[in-house]
Amino acid sequence: MGRKRKRNHGVPRAKRMNRPARLQSAVAWLKEFEGRHVLRGYCKHYGVDWRCAAIELQQLGVKLDADYLEARERFDRQQFVNRKQRRDERDAELHCQDSIEYETLPDAYLAGDFPALHAMECERDGIDPETR
């Protein structure tokens, strides 16, 4: 029988760990960590988000600045709001582009714009398209 081939996971071991394994490994990692930003370094090394890193570092006894964590939280909330506004603006812009005015019913039919075709037929017949 031949030797067993080494398995290549493609992802660093530290990023495949679950919480108990990370906490056990982080004790040694903290001793050799030389950077200034422990939270950022932990996030990068173990591939977790900053909230998870903050919880785990506090479990390990690392003191984190409460003002810094609150500022991070506010920044994340503001980013979420900004993304939602941009998405809504983009959707509204796309919706405005979709409503093309056609001159005749066959033009709307040939373009395949059936909501516009329906609205034009209702307008021609004198019916409110919202109630139909």
Q: Is residue 5 one of the residues assigned to a domain? A: no
The reply to whether 58 and 100 lie within a common domain is no
Q: Do the domain assignments include residue 78?
A: no
Residues 22 and 62 in one domain: yes
Output the CA angle 32-36-40, nearest 5 degrees. Answer: 90
Residue 116 lies in a domain: yes
The domain boundary residue, chosen from 18, 48, 66: 66
Position 30 confidence tier, pLDDT thresholds 50, 70, 90: very high
Residue 45, H or E segment:
helix 38-46
27-41 average pLDDT score: 95
For the cut 80, the answer to whether the pLDDT of residue 131 exceeds it is no
Q: Is residue 59 part of a domain?
A: yes
SS (H, E, C) 10-73: CCCHHHHCCHHHHHHHHHHHHHHCCCCCHHHHHHHHHCCCHHHHHHHHHHCCCCCCHHHHHHHH
Do residue 60 and residue 108 come from a single domain? no
Range of the domain at 30: 10-66
Please check whether residue 25 lies inside any domain of the structure: yes
Number of separate domains in the chain: 2
| Amino acid at residue number 73 | E
For residues 59 and 102, state if they share a domain. no
Residue 87 has pLDDT above 80, yes or no: yes
Question: Is it the case that residue 132 has pLDDT exceeding 60?
Answer: no
pLDDT at 122: 83
Residues 59 and 98 in one domain: no
In this predicted model, which residue has the larger pLDDT, 31 or 93? 31
pTM of the model: 0.64
